Amino acid sequence: MTTISLPPLSWAARRTRIMGVVRRDFAALRRSPIRMFEILFWPTVELLLWGFVTAFLQTQRVPFVVAFLLGGVLLWQVLQKASNEISIAFLEDIWSRNLLNVQVSPLSSVEYLVGLVVFSLGKVVFAVTVMSGLAFALYGFGVGGFGVGLAPFMGLLLVLGWSLGLVGIAAVLRFGENAQVIAWSLVFVVQPLAGIFYPISVLPAPVQALSWFLPASHVFEGMRTVMSGGPLPWDRLLWAAGLDVVYLGLTLALFAWALRYARAHGKLSRFGD
């Protein structure tokens, strides 16, 4: 009987289980036109809104601001979607009362998270590609403006987004379904502090000090440096990478603790009741 299964600890089995999560989420997305629509709807609304603001500012001859705003909108979407998509994928298991089935399968927590991350990466890349095309078509803004910073900027924001998503999942595991508001809104706490649409220098001094603890602040400052024609600010990227590693480590530990708490208090059994 056991011959129908791969050895459970083999890499082939791990890959199969991770791809099981990815394929399942892709199938669910394909079957939900509303979710497909939603991937592009909000980013497009933001792009149009800021695009028109930009077009107005352009007529007022405000230098650089045009590109900064559109660049900020595009990179903000990377952060926001990375955070929300990973939380949504987990919440969908709760909403569909399927979490127990997943939790009693041999899928490990790490494999589950890797599956969620891989799928969210696909959605982020899709959304940002479409938005980049729109930004170019409507406003003549090309992501080439990020120069060689494009990949590191996006990568650093993705990792921060996943960390924020993990905090949201941990909150739901610890406090129950009512905490899903944290999963949705945490990324918006970052938004005013990260200098997405303005330089960190405009923030009050105490807030600036706080802001530099966010990897996103270094990324958006770096983006403005590059778009102003400056070199890629490696010092900022290294700070952002270091902070990302620390936050990802901390949020993984938080997730592991929250899962242990949920198992100890019987919370997994009660989700979706």
Partner 1 sequence: MVILEAEHLAKRFGPVTAVHDLSLTVAEGEVVALLGLNGAGKSTTLHMLLGLITPDAGSIRMFGMDLARHRTEVLSKVNFAASYVDLPGALLVTEVLDAFARLYGLRRPKARVAELIELFELEPLARRPMMALSSGQRTRVQLAKALLNAPRLLVLDEPTANLDPDAGDRIRGLLGDLARTNGSAMLITSHNMREVERMCDRIHFMSGGRIVAAGSAAELAGAYGAADLEEVFLKVARG
Give the residues lining the site for partner 1 (CB under 8 A). 1-6, 8-9, 12-14, 16-17, 19-21, 23-24, 27-28, 31-32, 92-93, 96-98, 100-108, 260, 263-266, 268-269, 272-273
Query: Would you say 105 or 129 has its CB closer to partner 1?
Result: 105
As a whole number of angstroms, the distance between CA 165 and CA 86 comes to: 6
Closer of 5 and 228 to partner 1 (Cβ): 5
Which of 219, 183, 211 lies closest to 86 in space, CA to CA? 183
Residue 197 near residue 69, CB atoms below 8 Å: yes
Min dist. Cβ of residue 177 to partner 1 (A) = 15
- Min separation Cβ 30 and partner 1, Å: 9
Pick the closer one to partner 1 by CB: 5 or 129.
5
Q: Least separation, in Å, of the C-beta of 257 and partner 1?
A: 13
The amino acid present at 268, given as its one-letter code, is: L
Q: Which is nearer to partner 1, 95 or 136 (CB)?
A: 95
Shortest approach of partner 1 to residue 273 CB, angstroms? 8
- CA distances 174 to 109, 113, 132, Å, are 16, 17, 38
In the complex, the smallest distance separating the C-beta of residue 100 from partner 1, rounded to whole angstroms, is 5
**Choice between 22 and 154, CB closer to partner 1:** 22
Burial class (CB in 10 A: 0-12, 13-18, 19+), 144: exposed
78, two tokens = 């990377």
Nearer to partner 1, 17 or 236 (CB): 17
State the minimum distance, in angstroms, from the CB of residue 89 to partner 1: 11
Closest CA to 93 of 269, 271, 251, 265: 271
SS3 labels along 83-120: HHHHHHHHHHHHHCCCHHHHHCCCCCHHHHHHHHHHHH
